[in-house]
Amino acid sequence: MRYRALGRTGIEVSAYCLGTMMLGSVGNPDHDDCARIIGHALDHGVNFIDTADMYSAGESETIVGKALHGRRDDVILATKVHFPMGEGRNRGGNSRRWILTAVDDSLRRLNTDWIDLYQIHRPDHTTDIEETLATLGDLVRAGKIRAYGCSTFPAEELVEAHHAAQRRAVSRFRTEQPPYSLLARGIEADILPVAQRYGMGVLVWSPLASGFLSGRIHRDTVDLTTGRAALTPHRFDPAIPANAAKYDALEQLTALADELGCTLPELAVAFTQAHPAVTSTIIGPRTLAHLDTALKGAALALDDATLDRIDEIVPPGVNLYRPDGAWRAPSLTDSTLRRRPPSARAAA
């Protein structure tokens, strides 16, 4: 397992990061089995674990905390805050009030005194970014977290956060966690160059495109009643015209993997590792077998000829689907932000 500097934090992390979204009621509810998955990853050189408070409503953090008993000092532990936790007002978002509550909840569930990387899970346009950054800086000084970053922030918001940190004379986001795969290369056009410019570490998620690149999905045989396809059928249904380009690319990428003598998942994860801006790729197994499959491909390095072939199938900077289904910019979802009052819409 290779290790890389996490941006300019001075922290060294493994090239694979163990994602734990599937550990808990949403994926694998067997805590003992989940502990075996975590232990197996650590035994094979993974020293980086990523979770979030909202994964299985906190259960994932609890599982991770129990599994790391006696091994906490060897692990770079990351978690996230933003999405609502429970009913009622002020139980989510990026406000000082909620972050100060949420970090203590995460520390308790994780059974640890500190979090190595605390990440803001999505933007929150109801809270000034200066307020969020100042709060995170206070948590560093309090010893509750070591560094902080963000997840799935648009490039322009990364730039704004950087300048806000300068204005407020506080530390800036040190990492970004965006989606990246053979089918979702949009971040190559903006997020990754911005991260390189500011020396940010980058943890990429969903390298298998939410299961589309798992090797089990085929245009003629996809089962929309089970697994990921059942959860998000609009992403997998071959009858939907918008999915045609994905299936076309899938067939070509599968053929390419066969030529290389590797599996499609191995090709998919190795692709994310080829970009110089990527620090670590998050692999999110539900079972020990899934983890072994991912670890098996860790040594695969793609040569320039293979990467050129991939560029022909899915051009650089192109998304064949919208990879983040959990958040959309208010400028797109709130029509009042993109429509003048009726009386002011005419040019004369």
pLDDT in tens, 120-149: 999 999 999 999 999 999 999 999 999 999
Q: What pLDDT digit, counting tens, does each position of 171-224 carry? A: 999 999 999 999 999 999 999 999 999 999 999 999 999 999 999 999 988 888
What are the counts of helices (DSSP H) followed by strands (DSSP E) for the chain?
13, 10
Q: Using CA atoms, how far apart are residues 149 and 157, in angstroms rounded to an integer?
A: 12
pTM of the full predicted structure? 0.94
| Cβ contacts of 150 within 8 Å, gap of 6 or more | 119, 120, 123, 157, 158, 161, 173, 175, 176, 177
| Alpha carbons 114 and 264: distance in angstroms, whole number | 37
User: Rounded to the nearest 5°, which phi and psi values hold at 110?
Assistant: -80, -10
Q: Are strands 3-5 and 12-14 parallel, antiparallel or unpaired?
A: antiparallel
**Cβ–Cβ under 8 Å, residues 92 and 57:** no
DSSP states along 207-249: TTTTTTTSS---TTT--TTSHHHHH-HHHH-TTSGGGHHHHHH
Mean pLDDT, range 300-320, rounded to an integer:
97
Which sequence positions are flagged as catalytic? 55
**What mean pLDDT is reported for the chain?**
95
Token digits for 108?
Answer: 């308790």
Q: What is the pLDDT of residue 154?
A: 95
The pLDDT of residue 325: 72
pLDDT 10s digits, 71-128 = 999 999 999 999 999 888 999 999 999 999 999 999 999 999 999 999 999 999 999 9
